[in-house]
Copies of this chain bind each other. A is one copy, B any other.
Amino acid sequence: MQQLLRVQNFCVSMDGFGAGEHQSLERPFGHADPGDLVSWAGATASWPGRTDAGGTRGLDDYFTRDFTHNIGAEIMGRNKFGPQRGPWQDHEWRGWWGDEPPFHTPVFVMTHHTRPSFTLSDTTFHFVDGEPADVLEQAREAARGKDVRLGGGATTIREFLDADLVDTMHVAVSQVRLGSGVRLWKSPDELLDRFHQEVVPSPSGVTHHLFWRR
């Protein structure tokens, strides 16, 4: 069985930004309002953060409930883990994801500043310095035959796209413009030489872009 590298539920603005500028501890998405980008997912029954029995079970729910399906590891950029830059000043603060991170697998955080691995609930964070292909090899081994999720942010996804390592990608485009920030693409058409694409408008207002290798 082929082990895929999959981008899932990555949210961008109409103008192609995955986050705004000036990320900080208080504002993980910088000047962007995260609700504008991710509220479609939060409304679904299968949203990992949901604590009640409600939520929609239409098209958008297929995307949120696919989040864990056959995923054995995640790769993320350092800015998805936290706002610190450069050498780690504070090992006590253990990321934006709380005591029960939604990953439930090994997570490989890409950084030039490594630090010891640690485990929160059933998620273990590893901090790795290396080229995308090297990190992917480590993640594949940790995934034990399952697929690897490429969790973002936009800069990290770009690095793996540029290295031609991404197999499938689901990007949810919201009806908001950010004007500036961390860019995934100028246009999804950039990918059409290498990927099949389907564009699926959801009744919720978000548009799902699905890519898989040609």
Please give, as numbers and ranges, the residues of chain B lying within 8 Å of A66 by CB-CB distance: 62, 65-66, 69
The stretch of A27-35, A84-92, A178-186, A196-204 that contacts the partner chain: A196-204
Interface residue from B59, B196, B212 paired with A210 (Cβ < 8 Å): B59
> Does A63 reach chain B (CB closer than 8 Å)?
yes
Q: How far is the CA of A66 from the CA of B57 in the complex (A)?
A: 13
Question: A119-159 toward B: CB 8 Å interface, digit per residue (1/0)?
Answer: 00000000000000000000000000000000000000000
> Does A168 reach chain B (CB closer than 8 Å)?
yes
Q: Supply 24 A–B pairs (Cβ within 8 Å), ascending by A.
A: A2-B53, A45-B212, A56-B196, A56-B212, A57-B168, A57-B196, A57-B210, A57-B212, A58-B196, A58-B212, A59-B198, A59-B200, A59-B208, A59-B210, A62-B62, A62-B63, A62-B66, A65-B66, A66-B66, A66-B69, A198-B203, A200-B200, A200-B202, A200-B203
Extra contacts, 19 of them, besides A57-B168, A62-B62, A198-B203 (Cβ < 8 A), are A2-B53, A45-B212, A56-B196, A56-B212, A57-B196, A57-B210, A57-B212, A58-B196, A58-B212, A59-B198, A59-B200, A59-B210, A62-B66, A65-B66, A65-B69, A66-B66, A66-B69, A200-B202, A200-B203
Residues of A with Cβ closer than 8 Å to B? 2, 45, 53, 56-59, 62-63, 65-66, 69, 168, 196, 198, 200, 202-203, 208, 210, 212
